[in-house]
Amino acid sequence: MYSAVIEELIEKFERLPGIGHKSAERIAFYILERMSAEEAEHMAGSIIKAKKSIRLCECCQNLTDQSPCPVCSSPKRDKKLICVVESPEDVSAIENTHEYNGLYHVLHGALSPMDGIGPDDIKINELLLRLADNEVEEVILATNPTVNGTATAVYISKLLAPFDVKVTRIAHGIPIGSDIEYADKITIVKALESRQLM
């Protein structure tokens, strides 16, 4: 229907999460008709710059342009506490509450045997390494209350049993089957406050 170049652009946007064919078309035509060449170049440049400079924090595995990341290297954070989450979006949802002052550990996924995702495919070993040689007193398992997130929390709690740390699970203020990322601030704060020993 369109020229091959336009089709290719639409196809690229269609690969993004939450973007269907119609939205992809709308974005492509917005760029072609409404954006100046300079604006479009800036946008493409931002993607390239972010892809080149963003990597994983050597400590918490969150996305960062400096490693250790600002949270891990901040003297103001409570290093006795590690909150384990599935994704960088979860970190930002919890940070937005301004109520949690510990460190994080980003797994980059959850165990999912159906999709072939096992312990070595997410950042579990990196978490164990962090516990080996420091002052951590409590690990809060804040994976999503989905089937996979819960299975991941149970799996990790078993691995942590030999360590001298308290292992807690966030309370079910977060609706079952949902994503922490989309929970409101009060729900996140309550879920963290009423965490329970695993």
In the complex, the smallest distance separating the C-beta of residue 180 from Zn ion, rounded to whole angstroms, is 18
Q: Does 170 bind Zn ion (CB under 5 A)?
A: no
Residue 83 binds Zn ion (CB under 5 A):
no
Task: Select the residue interacting with Zn ion from 28, 57, 81, 142 (CB under 5 A).
Answer: 57
Span near Zn ion by CB under 5 A; candidates 3-11, 30-38, 68-76, 120-128: 68-76
Q: Classify the C-alpha dihedral 53-129-140-114 as positive or negative.
A: positive
Please give the Cα distance from 26 to 177 (Å, whole number): 32
Is 72 near Zn ion (CB under 5 A)?
Answer: yes
Residue from 24, 60, 83, 124 touching Zn ion (CB under 5 A): that is: 60
Residue closest to 149 by CA, chosen among 186, 189, 179, 187: 179
**Is the backbone peptide bond immediately before 68 cis, with ω within 30 degrees of 0?**
yes
Residue 68 CB, nearest approach to Zn ion (Å): 5
Interacting residue with Zn ion among 59, 110, 127, 183 (CB under 5 A) = 59
- What residue spans of 54-176 are helical by DSSP H? 70-73, 88-95, 124-132, 147-160
| DSSP at 175 | P
Which residues of the shown chain bind Zn ion in the complex (CB under 5 A)? Answer: 57, 59-60, 69, 72
